[in-house]
Amino acid sequence: MVGTAITRLLKPLRLPLASGDHLIDPPVVLAPMAGITNAPFRTLCREQGAGLFVSEMVTARALIERRPETMRMIVPGKDEWPRSVQLYSVDPTTMRAAVTMIGKENLADHIDMNFGCPVPKVTRKGGGAALPYKRKLFSNIVQAAVEAAKPFGIPVTVKMRIGIDSDHHTFLEAAQSAADLGVAWVALHARTAAQMYEGKSDWSKIAELVEHLKPSGVPVLGNGDIWSGKDAVDMVNQTGCAGVVVGRGCLGRPWLFADLVSSLQGNEKEITPTLHQVREVMFRHASLIVEYLESEDRGMRDMRKHMAWYLKGFRVAREIRHDLGMVSSLEEMRELLDRLDEQPYPIEVGDKPRGRTSHGRPPTLPDGWLDDPDELVHVELEDAFSGG
């Protein structure tokens, strides 16, 4: 684990907690990813140097209804602090109730709000990346969260995309509105909802937002296409962002955070674990998931999706790859991992894009959604997203 502070490019990022200012140093944030950033994965990333580690996105409605799986999703890992939860809602009243519940029951230290999810089951109900287009609704939801969090000293942040598509950019106006309402920072994924995860993210939009929010003093964090420590350095140099948010780049590579910290300190040598080092991270990850889910069967089923990411670029026999993808016990996984031959990290392949590569497509939106950005709509509640 890299433990020294970043001294070259980025200052510590201030997070105003109830107990006093917490300096996120390094200002490197693990992005929330559905089905990925549970407590075990956050633990692995935290040990490698992540400055803040956000939960999987949970719906405000599911939280106030105390659905068991949602309540499990916000349970922190051992010694995890600050406890960071990402909330999704399309209704100010529901958002206010969820934030109040978090505050009263001391369930989190920081709340991030999702206005960036591009998947159709969210945008078709006006949620995620579609929502900032409705200016008043967006402002009302952010205001409800900030006001509800204030008595408990919980900072609120927002994560958004550039806009719905190339004809409907919302990031400047929405970010300004959020800044005026009192959010601690704005994170921008430099793609539109229509792009999904296609192509290259447009870092120039991050730079534009940095300049736009300078008078407010609200920091901007950059997100999109950080696959290596060098990418993080390039983003900071090109945009002037105050921190970086990393999502798909760390899939099967929690050590990416150690590499990010090292690179932002000015070190040029990349963190490149050998296959035998990687296999030990894999086994620890599986063990943590089994413990977290309190079931070896459920834990191993959940672990299967990580196998290909961890082994990307390594030379692994087809039979072993197949069996790891179907593994059903820790004992079986250990036996398979022990059959792997040692080899160096495959930088040329290992640092390439991974995870979701959904092709761009016109966003699925509610009927008439684009007619009037000032219309104060009442959209359906969080039936849009059943994941939480």
Q: What is the DSSP string of 331-388?
A: HHHHHHHTTPPP----HHHHTS--S--PPP-PPP--TTTTS-TT-------GGG----
Name the architecture of domain 13-268.
Answer: Alpha-Beta Barrel (3.20)
Q: Do 115 and 123 meet the contact criterion of CB atoms below 8 Å apart?
A: no
Q: Which residues of 117-152 are buried (b: 16+ CB within 10 A; e: fewer)?
A: bbbbebbbbbbbbbbbbbbebbbbbbbbbbbbbeeb
In one-letter notation, the amino acid at residue 137 is: L
pLDDT score of 34? 87
pLDDT band with cut points at 50, 70 and 90 for residue 2? very low
What pLDDT score does 268 carry?
Answer: 80
Examine the pLDDT at 267 and tell me if it is beyond 60: yes
Decide if pLDDT at 354 tops 90.
no
Q: What is the mean pLDDT of the chain?
A: 91
Q: Choose between 7 and 88: higher pLDDT.
A: 88
- pLDDT band with cut points at 50, 70 and 90 for residue 388: very low
Measured CA distances, 294 to 19, 79, 286, 300, 388 (Å):
32, 19, 12, 11, 19
Longest CA span, the chain: 61
Cβ(357)–Cβ(191) below 8 Å: no
Answer whether 324's CB lies under 8 Å from 283's CB: no
Q: Are 368 and 304 in contact (CB under 8 A)?
A: no
Domain spans of the chain, in order of start: 13-268, 275-343
pLDDT digits (tens, 9 = 90+) for 183-200: 999 999 999 999 998 888
DSSP letter for 26, please: S
Q: Binning pLDDT at 50, 70 and 90, where does residue 4 land?
A: very low
**Which of 45, 117, 241, 250 is the catalytic position?**
117
Spatial contact of 110 and 157, defined as CB atoms under 8 Å apart: yes
Whether residue 45 lies in the annotated active site: no
> What residues are paired with 30 via a beta bridge?
53, 246
Q: What is the pLDDT of residues 149-173, one digit of tens each?
A: 999 999 999 999 999 999 999 999 9
pLDDT of residue 376: 74
With a cut of 80, say whether residue 370 has pLDDT above it: yes
User: Is 319 exposed, middle or buried, given 0-12, 13-18 or 19+ CB atoms closer than 10 A?
Assistant: exposed
Amino acid identity, position 44: L
**Strand boundaries in 234-298, DSSP class E:** 243-246
Give the per-residue pLDDT at 115.
Answer: 96
Question: Which percentage of the chain shows pLDDT scores above 90?
Answer: 76
pLDDT at residue 271 in the model: 85
CA distance 266 to 254: 20
What is the mean pLDDT of the segment spanning 54-70?
95
Q: Output the six-digit token pair for 90.
A: 């399309």
pLDDT higher for 242 or 200? 242
Overall average pLDDT of the 228-238 stretch: 94
Q: Show Cβ contacts of residue 322 under 8 Å, excluding neighbours closer than 6 positions.
A: none
pLDDT of residue 159: 97
Q: What is the mean pLDDT of residues 254-270?
A: 88
Amino acid at 299: G
Tell me what pLDDT residue 358 has.
60
